[in-house]
A and B are shown apart, each in its own frame.
Chain A
Amino acid sequence: MTLLAAANGISLPGTDDPINVSQTVGFALLAALMIWAAIRVVTTRNVVHAAVWLVVVLAGAAAQFILLAAEFVGVTQVMVYIGAVIVLILFGVMLTQAKLGNDPNLSRRNWYGGAVVAVVLFGLLAFATIDTFEDAKLPEDRRMALPAAEVGDGEVPRTESNTGAVSDAVFGAYLLPLEVLGVLLTAALVGAIAVARKD
Chain B
Amino acid sequence: MSVASLLAAADTVPAPDVEWSALSPFLVVVVGACLLLPIAGLLPRRTRVAWSALFTIAVALGAIGASAWVWHDLSRVGPTERTTVAGAYAVDKFSLFLIVVICVGVILATLLTEGYLRREDLPGAEAYLLYLASASGAIIMVTAADLIVLFIGLEVLSIAAYVLAGLHRRRLRSGEAALKYFVLGGFSSAFFLYGVALIYGATGTTNLVGIAEYLATHRLLDEGLLLAGIGLLIVGFAFKVGGVPFHVWTPDVYQGSPSPVVAFMASVVKAAAFAGMLRVVVVALSTHRLDWQPILYAIAVLSMIVGAVLAVVQSDVKRMLAYSSINHAGFMLAAVSTGADEGIAAVLFYLAAYTVLIGGTFGIVTLFGRRGDGHHDIDDYRGLARREPFLALALTIFLLAQAGTPLTAGFLAKFYVIQAVVDAGSWWLGLVAMLAATISAFLYLRIVLTMYAGVTDADVEVAEPTAEPVRRIHVPLGAKVAIAAALVLTIAIGVVPDPLTHASRTARPELVAPGD
Contact = CB atoms under 8 A, between A and B. Distances in A.
A and B touching (C-beta < 8 Å)? Answer: yes
Interface of A: 124-125, 127-129, 131-134, 167-168, 171-177, 180-181, 183-184, 186-188, 190-195, 199
B160 A180 contact: no
A127 B85 CA distance: 38
B78 interface: no
B14 A168 contact: yes
Interface in B268-299: none
A159 to B, nearest CB: 13
Nearest to A147: B14
B224 A131 contact: yes
Contacts of A129: 224-225
B130 A190 contact: yes
B136 interface: yes
Contact of B163 (A127, A191, A199): A191
Contacts of A187: 129-130, 133-134, 137, 156, 159-160, 163
Contacts of B134: 187
Contacts of A175: 15-16, 18, 85-86, 88
B192 interface: no
Interface stretch (B29-37, B364-372, B434-442, B469-477): B29-37
Report the interface size class on chain B.
35 or more
B228 A181 contact: no
Contacts of A124: 228
Contacts of A172: 13-16, 86
Contacts of A176: 84-86, 88-89, 149
Contacts of B170: 199
Interface string B158-184: 011011001101100000001000000
B88 A186 contact: no
Nearest to B139: A180
A183 B156 contact: yes
Given A132-B224, A172-B15, A187-B160, A180 B153 contact: yes
Interface of B: 13-16, 18, 30, 33-34, 37, 84-89, 123, 126-127, 129-130, 133-134, 136-137, 140, 146, 148-149, 152-153, 155-156, 159-160, 162-163, 166-167, 169-170, 178, 198, 201-202, 220, 222-228
A190 B133 contact: yes
B99 to A, nearest CB: 15
20 contacts: A132-B220, A132-B222, A171-B13, A172-B86, A175-B15, A175-B16, A177-B148, A177-B152, A180-B140, A180-B149, A183-B136, A184-B152, A184-B159, A187-B137, A187-B163, A191-B126, A191-B159, A191-B163, A195-B166, A195-B178
Nearest to B145: A176
Among A129, A134, A188, A195, residue most surrounded by chain B Cβ atoms (within 10 Å): A195
A133 B156 contact: no
Contacts of B18: 175
Given A173-B16, A176-B85, A180-B156, A191 B224 contact: no
Contacts of A133: 201, 225
B137 A128 contact: no
Given A129-B224, A180-B156, A187-B129, 11 more contacts: A127-B224, A129-B225, A132-B226, A172-B86, A173-B87, A174-B148, A181-B152, A183-B30, A183-B33, A191-B159, A195-B169
B88 A177 contact: yes
B340 to A, nearest CB: 29
B377 to A, nearest CB: 27
Nearest to A133: B225
B56 to A, nearest CB: 14
B160 A199 contact: no
A128 B228 contact: yes
Contacts of B14: 168, 172
A128 B16 CA distance: 37
Contacts of A177: 88, 146, 148-149, 152
Contact of B130 (A131, A184, A194): A194
A185 B369 CA distance: 33
A31 to B, nearest CB: 18
Contacts of A190: 37, 126, 129-130, 133
A128 B227 CA distance: 8
Contacts of A128: 198, 224-225, 227-228
Task: Please give me the 9 A-B residue pairs with the lowest Cβ-Cβ distance, nearest first.
Answer: A191-B163, A131-B224, A128-B224, A187-B133, A132-B225, A128-B228, A173-B86, A194-B126, A176-B85
Nearest to A173: B86
B26 to A, nearest CB: 9
Given A172-B14, A177-B152, A186 B34 contact: yes
Contacts of A186: 33-34, 133
Contacts of B227: 128
A184 B202 contact: no
Nearest to A193: B126
A195 B155 CA distance: 18
Contacts of B127: 194
Nearest to B153: A180
A144 B145 CA distance: 23
Contacts of A184: 137, 152, 155-156, 159
B152 A180 contact: yes
A134 B225 CA distance: 11
B160 A191 contact: yes
A168 B152 CA distance: 19
A124 B167 CA distance: 40
